[in-house]
Chain A
Amino acid sequence: MAPDHVDGNAIAGLLAEVLAVEPTTTVTVCHSCGDEAVLAQSTVVMNVPDTTVRCSACGDVLFVIVTTDTEHTLIVSGLRLLRMPRPTP
């Protein structure tokens, strides 16, 4: 472990910025086929209680959102990465 490590409290600001993305223009890379697309181009099936987001190139699941009255669970099983623009100051 690097001697100068800190803990998760230190990324409160960074992660708040990462998670505050505009979803539809966020770039996804599919774990299965490597296809790079923006989220607006994915294939979405909205069911209850799950919303499944698939790669429009290979059809594999990118991620699933499961919703209850009090929580969302994001199951990220098929994403290699997400890339989003930094907010303009």
Chain B
Amino acid sequence: MTSGATWHIATVATVRPLTPNASLITLGVPTWPGNDGGQHIDVRLTAEGGYQATRSYSLASVGNSTRLELAVDRVPDGEVSPYLVDDLRPDDQLEIQGPLGGWFVWKPSSDLRPVQLIAGGSGVVPCIGMLRAHSAAQSTTPMRLLYGLRTPEDLFFADELKTLGSANPAAISLVFSRLTPEHWPDPPGRLSRDSLAAHTIGPEQRPRLFVCGSTGFVETVLSWLTELGHGSTDIRAERFGGI
């Protein structure tokens, strides 16, 4: 699949709450050419007076489906995300551009090196796309996800991650910074270099690493990965901005 700066008209199919602060939005896009795991779209909103706002959102959906799935976190004081999370309803139409991006993308291949995904908060969305592409291809390449989040309430795609985790307990690691589920083995705490090392594939296995989250999260994780001995050419990152 390719990447293309083509605008499409998307019709909202469903909007449902994913967490108290986020919605899962599905869009029907008849002209969609399909997309790879990790790709994103630009969503453009236009007000009556001509004012426009464009934001990028990663796709959780992959493959040839013309139904796209995005998970949108409500940014306090944001201009676009509160509209998408709270005001958008079925049959509304949006302009979207994509599929975009070719760097922060995972495609099934004959490469046997393991893959480590590291996500902070809503940075998990492109990782979900990669996990789905991995499942759909029945790939034998080992793929693991470390997902850092604040509380169990903030968990995106809880059921899907639970299913993946019960099939392969090593595949999914969650690190909660403020509050954990009951009977959780670790106390809540911010991700550290040590907990990162404990929950990810070690540098001796030469994994390919994908890191996605806020700019601050990504910068911190990248410096830890380098200190732990991972090669910088093995790491790909996507920064959402913010702190």
Contacts and interface: CB of A to CB of B under 8 A. Distances in A.
A touching B, CB within 8 angstroms: yes
Interface of A: 22, 24-25, 38-41, 87
Question: At the interface, is chain A mostly helix, strand, loop or mixed?
Answer: helix
B47 to A, nearest CB: 14
Given A24-B101, A25-B102, 20 more contacts: A22-B2, A22-B3, A22-B101, A22-B102, A24-B3, A24-B100, A24-B102, A24-B103, A24-B104, A25-B103, A38-B103, A39-B103, A40-B101, A40-B103, A40-B104, A40-B236, A40-B237, A40-B238, A41-B103, A87-B2
Contacts of A87: 2
A24 B104 CA distance: 8
A39 B103 CA distance: 9
10 contacts: A22-B3, A24-B102, A25-B102, A25-B103, A38-B103, A39-B103, A40-B104, A40-B236, A40-B238, A87-B2
Interface of B: 2-3, 100-104, 236-238
Nearest to B104: A40
A40 B104 CA distance: 8
Nearest to B50: A69
Contacts of A22: 2-3, 101-102
Contacts of B2: 22, 87
A86 to B, nearest CB: 13
